[in-house]
Chains A and B, each alone.
Chain A
Amino acid sequence: MTARVAGFFYRRPRLGLLALLSLPLAWLGLVYLGSVAALLLQSFFRLDDFTGLVVRRLSLDTWRSLLQPANLDIARRTLVMAALVTLADALLALPVAYYMARYASGRIRALLAVAILLPLWSSYLVRVYAWKLILAREGVLNWTLERLGLEGLLQVVLGLPGIGGPSLSVSPLGTFIAFVYVWLPYMVLPIQAALERVPRSLLEASSDLGAPPRVTFVRVVLPLALPGVVAGSIFTFSLTLGDFIVPGTLGNSSFFIGQAVLAHQGTAGNLPLAAAFTAIPMAIMGVYLIVARRLGAFDAL
């Protein structure tokens, strides 16, 4: 029986392909793209301020209200945070990935891989709340700094406008620290993959041609790691753009895009404005992905 079915599909390769792909394609097409289309359509409706009901007639009113300074501020804040988190993750991940790909052998390499992957197997919420406890005024970090006599330094940092706050757990700096931590594995893995495909002979050739290690790193290692960095940055950047848990748990009262979407579609009931807000990260990531593809980032995934 199975042989007969196999023979049937062997003689009709196109039909076999269709059977394999139709279900996942239907899922992707209808459920995913369909809901994105519905979301975009929603952004062209508007909320009637008086009745609190959504008016299902196409207009640009919602988009106009999106462009208010307060909303643009939210978008700008989120973008700056995403860019800084990406930069910090890239700087932290490069040496780790380089060490893993180039020097670490057997056991140490496996140990490092587990150390990087292990946090991903626990709930992200748990890890964010753990940071809340670490960064809180009564938390481990404060306690340690006090013992070291460095609480003055912390006060200076917390006093900086735009970064600080009453304590690290309710400041943009705290949000930044937690973001950098939770997305770091997504940066290390693609950079390591990219560096592992660089044969040792390339580095030897560079030194053979007269380049000391520093020059080899800048001229050979970094350019070949770049696709991995870009691939990793797709994760860190897009995940930061849409996140509402980290700034909600560790931030001050200033909204990020994710929080704004959550608030507008939930308590405010302004589904059209929430939909319009989601268009910002989608547009940014669209451009980002096109640039990333040009740089060959998808070969490193």
Chain B
Amino acid sequence: MAGSGTAVRLRDVRRQFGDVRAVDGVGLEIEDGEFFSMLGPSGSGKTTCLRLVAGFDQPSSGGVELFGRPMAGVPPWERDVNTVFQDYALFPHMSVAENVAYGLRVKGVARAERQARVGAALDMVRLPGVAERRPSQLSGGQRQRVALARALVNRPRVLLLDEPLGALDLKLRQEMQAELKALQQRLGITFLYVTHDQEEALAMSDRLAVLSHGRVDQVGTPAEVYERPATAFVAGFVGASNLIEGELARALTGASAGFTIRPEKIGLLPPAAAAPPASCVAEGRVASATYHGAFTRYVVEVDGALLVVVEQNRDAPQGELAAWRGQPVRLAWPRALNQPLSGP
């Protein structure tokens, strides 16, 4: 699966629109054959980075390289990448087959080969039998697949995807996530995937970069980013996190340095039980308990701070949740899971 060398390299890339620094010094190296995600809230600069790689926009400073070749001054139509657009950008005046064939046609691929490759591409995205339809006659999910086939039929070395699943409903989105991931592993081409959905990024990526305000906060595997968030922003944006600072931090760890701890790492101790060794133990009162089906979410007040605790519902819930309110509880979690804050 993994190829060799760097597919995409961003060298201290900046892009300024007037006074707005959309991309403010991004450096990234994306390996050949990798599924790489750029994760961030809207306005974090992730789509701008993608557009710089595609060539729709030029960096104000810094440079983009594809397979070691600098892309300064290289227009989009001469770059060996293809894009799946957020709004799909299918040509409304062409049939599905004409849409998929477009890239081959403008490159002068002969008709017979064109037809064979278009058919294969539509099969690959599991869309047989719609070749003669217009994009307007397709559902959102089908259009998504056409957009994918239209890009992949050109056999790009890097596929750029700009929130491709953003417009689909939850069920379809989860299906497509699995399908995209399987497709990427089968084809072995580099996917550069832009999303604001942290679950999607965690579930699909080999590695991901978390962006905020035009900068990269952290790059790593999903587990690294989730378990060892480098900044408070990453801890809060990728999954939920309890931020513990000041007096409470001193009381729990003996040091005043702040740290974060994931809600699902914290356990509710039974009244008489002793905490395991090397644990942080806190006493508080339940402010609220909410049933979420697979898990129950508790908000516990500890010394004026509110901590979120998530417990898996392995058994059917016992009694009324409302009875938890105001109950004194003891919280415990392994000290080693405390994640010290390094960044802002």
Contact = CB atoms under 8 A, between A and B. Distances in A.
A220 B56 contact: no
Nearest to A211: B106
Interface stretch (A27-35, A104-112, A119-127, A197-205): A197-205
Contacts of A199: 87, 89
A210 B151 CA distance: 11
- Which of B55, B102, B150, B154 has the most C-beta atoms of chain A within 10 angstroms of its own C-beta? B102
A208 B83 contact: yes
A209 interface: yes
A219 interface: yes
B124 to A, nearest CB: 17
A72 B106 CA distance: 47
A207 interface: yes
B75 interface: yes
Interface in A189-241: 199, 201-202, 204-212, 215, 219-220, 223-224
A79 B150 CA distance: 44
A223 B106 CA distance: 16
B171 interface: no
Nearest to B102: A209
B92 A209 contact: no
Contacts, number: 62
A205 B83 CA distance: 7
B93 A224 contact: yes
Interface residues of A, number: 17
B103 interface: yes
Contact of B87 (A201, A212, A219): A201
Interface residues of B, number: 24
B233 interface: no
Contact of A201 (B82, B89, B93): B89
B107 A210 contact: yes
B77 interface: yes
Contact of B75 (A207, A219, A220, A224): A207
Contacts of A207: 55-56, 75-77
Given A199-B89, A201-B87, A215 B82 contact: no
A219 B102 CA distance: 9
B49 to A, nearest CB: 15
B85 A204 contact: yes
Contact of A206 (B55, B86, B102, B107): B102
A212 B56 CA distance: 13
Contacts of B30: none
B93 A205 contact: no
4 nearest A-B residue pairs (beta carbon): A209-B103, A201-B89, A205-B89, A207-B76
26 contacts: A199-B87, A201-B87, A202-B89, A204-B89, A205-B90, A206-B91, A206-B106, A207-B55, A207-B75, A207-B77, A208-B55, A208-B56, A208-B77, A208-B81, A209-B77, A209-B103, A209-B150, A209-B154, A210-B107, A210-B154, A211-B77, A211-B106, A212-B75, A215-B106, A219-B102, A224-B92
